[in-house]
């Protein structure tokens, strides 16, 4: 069996086994440093068989290009999975001034800061009572509190600092 026959058989087998599950095969082809995407549907097997019937140098070149693309694709997905292990947002308590602020940092760079601060020592959310928010650990002597009228300003200050921190991380 020649090399060409062997490869032909392998590719035929591959498509016999996988054609039912593959609906789209995306082949990345690189020409002169720029990338173009050729999307192949279920006709992929016919396409490959046509290539195999062309003179050896052409199909060998195309096979080589496809293997290079596959290698590039695998390397790229490896890189992405290493650098982006999860799409879950990052949730942190960030300390600004006398409080900690619950911050949710999304993967797209946006972030949310909880309107109500957390006690710096006990890391629990303050609760409203009368004209202020208090740490629920008040009964064991925690004095962490903020007046409701001061909350908006403190929140804006905290948010500004947090945005600065996130931007620095991004740089
Ligand atoms: Zn406390």
How do residues 3-39 score in pLDDT, each as one tens digit?
Answer: 777 777 776 776 666 554 444 444 444 444 444 444 4
d(CA 71, CA 65): 10
- Contact between 38 and 27 under an 8 Å Cβ cutoff? The reply is yes
Spacing, Cα 30 to ligand 1 middle (Å): 60
Residue finishing a domain among 55, 83, 111: 83
Measure 138 CA to ligand 1 centroid, in angstroms.
Answer: 7
Q: Token digits for 21?
A: 């599950």
Where does a domain end: 16, 51, 83?
83
Q: Are residues 62 and 129 in the same domain?
A: no
96 and 78 together in one domain? no
Kindly give, in sequence order, each residue whose CB lies less than 8 Å from that of residue 124, ignoring residues fewer than 6 positions away: 118, 135, 136, 137
Query: Could you report the per-residue pLDDT of 110-130, keeping only the tens digit for each?
Result: 999 999 999 999 999 999 999
pTM summary value: 0.50
Q: For 37, how many CA atoms within 13 A lie in the half-sphere containing its CB?
A: 6
Tell how far the Cα of 122 is from the centroid of ligand 1, in angstroms.
Answer: 4
Domain span including residue 22: 3-83
């Amino acid at each position: 069996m020649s090399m060409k026959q062997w490869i032909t058989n392998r590719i035929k087998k591959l498509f016999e086994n996988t054609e039912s599950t593959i609906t789209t095969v995306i082949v990345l082809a690189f020409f002169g440093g720029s990338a173009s995407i050729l999307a192949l549907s279920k006709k992929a097997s016919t396409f490959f068989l046509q290539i195999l019937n062309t003179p050896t140098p052409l199909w060998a070149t195309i096979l080589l290009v496809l293997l290079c693309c596959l290698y590039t694709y695998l390397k790229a997905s490896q890189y992405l999975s290493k650098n982006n292990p999860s799409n879950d947002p990052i949730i942190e308590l960030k300390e600004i001034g006398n409080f900690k602020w619950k911050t949710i940092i999304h993967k797209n760079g946006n972030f949310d800061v909880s309107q109500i601060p957390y006690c710096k020592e006990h890391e629990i959310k303050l609760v409203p009572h009368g004209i202020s928010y208090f740490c629920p650990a008040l009964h064991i002597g925690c004095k962490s509190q903020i007046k409701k009228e001061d909350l908006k300003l403190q929140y804006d200050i905290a948010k500004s600092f947090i945005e600065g921190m996130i931007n620095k991380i991004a740089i």
